[in-house]
Structure 1
Amino acid sequence: MTSRLKRTLLALSLAISLPAGAANYSIGTGSQSGTYYPLGGMLAKVWSDNIENFNMRAEVTAASVENIIKVSSGQQLVGIAMGDSVASAIQGQAPFRKPLDVAVLFALYPNVVQFIVPADSSINTIADLKGKKISVGAPGSGTRVGSTAILEALGIHQGDFKAQSLNYTATTNALANGQIDAGVIIGSAGVGAITELALTRDIRILSFSQAELAKVHAALPAYSGMEIPAETYSKVTAFTAPAVWNVLVVKKDLDPALATQMLETAFGNMDKISKVIADAKNATVDNMDKLQGVPLHASSQAFLTKMKGQ
């Protein structure tokens, strides 16, 4: 059989396996070592299995900023993003060049700002980061936007440290190999990348003081302090850090009927999703509008009002 014939037969088999008239979509996630990718994959499966003529795949991306831009331009139907990045997009603030017409479908779970250092590091406070080599997150990621904004709020400007632009996996690898002094991962408490690092290296996660948390909240209202218990990661003591909600972002004019189907299907299957992705337990109807100052999609607001009225 020739390679050309094989390709033809493969194309035919794929065409036959898809329902007639099925629409194909993507959900923007993040790196495969974070929470966005598996959660996006579960949502894509639930929607594809339960909404007629609907096929969705999870797309690996640089996360928040890229997802928001792709959703607003119609390249993705939905994307997972950090709340402060969504707020910046709606207001047209950096790194976005103009206001984007996006809205929140519903809130997912809180992301914690985790500054990681080797256990024997001389870095003990956020102020000690001055002059150090720090991974602040990949370009186009919410981690990069959030980490630099938080440091700025605490008076640590980009010229005050040596910034490295690494994703989750590259950050933990660089820490393990002694190539950087500190790395930031803004992700769920218990995120896989840090969990894996803590199993092979002794690390600490810096704790923010109450005064530092107050400064961060004043400059970035989407963030509030969150206490993370000891042993969330192997041998890592308890710490307190700013946290911001992750949300599902869609175009403001997403078809209301489709948005309603996606809401009903997601919440109807959230128990199933939570068994695979523990953070999904936070994605409840009561938490739908947890991100303040950012509008819900019209169908989401209607769904929330209806559910609270029952």
Structure 2
Amino acid sequence: MKHIFKNGIIGLACLFSFNAMAENYTIGTGSQSGTYYPLGGILAKIWSENIEDFDMRAEVTAASVENTIKVSSNKQLAGIAMGNVVLQAHEGIKPFPRKMDVSVLFALYPNVVQFIVPADSDIKSIKDLKGKRISLGAPGSGTRVSATNILASLGITDKDIDAQSLNYTATTNAISAGQIDAGVIVGSVGVGAITELAFTHKIRILSFTADELKKVSEDNASYQSIEVPAESYKNVSAFNAPAVWNILIVNKNMDTDLAYQMTKVAFENMSKINQVISVTKFTTLENMNKLNGIDLHPGSLKYLKEQM
């Protein structure tokens, strides 16, 4: 079998003999307290067990931006990233210096932009965030890109707040310690970091108004509104927020046969993946091409057409 990128940029081209060692790969994820890491772990396990001469492990990263850069520069075979970040990479928009060699294998599940505050905070709405200490997410993360873009859509810039750059765990720790006034986590409903915080501290998640959601969608086409039901986290009321799809990405020059195999094996084992990561109930054939503005990789498109 050949695991090869068509342009041959790096030495992944390899003909395996019967006694050869399996090729080692990584999938870029996020922090260990988010959903990306365990999802990347189960995908790596499924692929390693079902693709010949293939061995993959999940790598802890700063998430979307870092994963996109590493995939496009052939430092990771695959990565998980937010759709808005992938579109910015595809178009060469900041924080990316140029158009990146990235392609979509398939869409995964929607991520919700969640602004967390202590339950007794005087912050009742998004506009109340002005002048406050807010964690916008780790540098190089999709959370930071999303938080910055969304606040900018609503007329709030870095100059209007005391912006902090913390990852999921550091954000929830800082909220519980009273070191920040609010924190943004962009993740699945029920993401571990917020779930754990809600078990030990009384929190609220800010709800966007209809007008705010409209402004966000107008400025950022990859976002859609979502209503999160009450008790999705302990003692947290229902809230409305923007959501963006998470995407499984690969280098656009990845060998078509390998991309096809990875897609086929993932969907043939989706019931096993669902048992480990419940939000992958959204990872369906119908949702594969959920991100508008960028095409599926030819390998995954081949699999999708076979199933239609």
TM-score scaled to structure 1, two decimals? Answer: 0.93
CA contact (8 A) 1:19 1:53 kept: no
Deviates more, 1:105-114 or 1:299-308: 299-308
In the alignment, the residues of structure 2 paired with residue 35 and residue 211 of structure 1 have an alpha-carbon distance, to the nearest angstrom, of 30
Q: Which runs of 5+ in 1 are unaligned?
A: 1-17
Aligned-pair CA distance for 1:101: 1.4
In structure 2, what residue type is equivalent to 1:235?
Answer: N
Residue in 2 that maps onto 1:34: 34
* Equivalent residues in 2 for 1:50-129, closer than 5 Å: 50-129=50-129
In the alignment, the residues of structure 1 paired with residue 228 and residue 291 of structure 2 have an alpha-carbon distance, to the nearest angstrom, of 20
Residue in 1 that maps onto 2:148: 148
Aligned-pair CA distance for 1:292: 1.2
Residue in 2 that maps onto 1:15: none
Q: 1:23-47 deviations in whole A, cap 9, x for unaligned?
A: 1100000000000000000000000
Aligned-pair CA distance for 1:52: 0.4
When the two structures are aligned, how many residues end up with a matched partner?
A: 291
In the alignment, the residues of structure 2 paired with residue 280 and residue 301 of structure 1 have an alpha-carbon distance, to the nearest angstrom, of 19
Residue in 1 that maps onto 2:177: 177
The sequence identity of aligned pairs, in percent, is 64
In structure 2, what residue type is equivalent to 1:39?
Answer: L
Residue in 2 that maps onto 1:280: 280
Q: Secondary structure at the match of 1:257?
A: helix
1:44 equivalent in alignment to 2:57 = no
Q: 1:267-309 deviations in whole A, cap 9, x for unaligned?
A: 000100100111111111111001111221111222222212x
Cα root mean square deviation, aligned: 1.0
Aligned-pair CA distance for 1:112: 0.0
In structure 2, what residue type is equivalent to 1:24?
Answer: N
Residue in 2 that maps onto 1:256: 256
* Equivalent residues in 2 for 1:120-269, closer than 5 Å: 120-269=120-269
CA contact (8 A) 2:107 2:283 kept: yes
Q: Which has the higher helix share?
A: 1
In the alignment, the residues of structure 2 paired with residue 307 and residue 140 of structure 1 have an alpha-carbon distance, to the nearest angstrom, of 36
| Large movers: runs of 4+ above 3 Å | none
Aligned-pair CA distance for 1:19: 6.3
In structure 1, what residue type is equivalent to 2:294?
Answer: V
CA contact (8 A) 2:73 2:101 kept: no
Q: 1:214-253 deviations in whole A, cap 9, x for unaligned?
A: 1000000000100000000000000000000000010111
CA gap of 1:260–1:167, structure 2 versus 1, over 3 A, is same
Q: 1:77-112 deviations in whole A, cap 9, x for unaligned?
A: 000000000000011001000000111000000000
1:304 equivalent in alignment to 2:304 = yes
In structure 1, what residue type is equivalent to 2:263?
Answer: L
In the alignment, the residues of structure 2 paired with residue 216 and residue 294 of structure 1 have an alpha-carbon distance, to the nearest angstrom, of 20
CA contact (8 A) 2:88 2:94 kept: yes
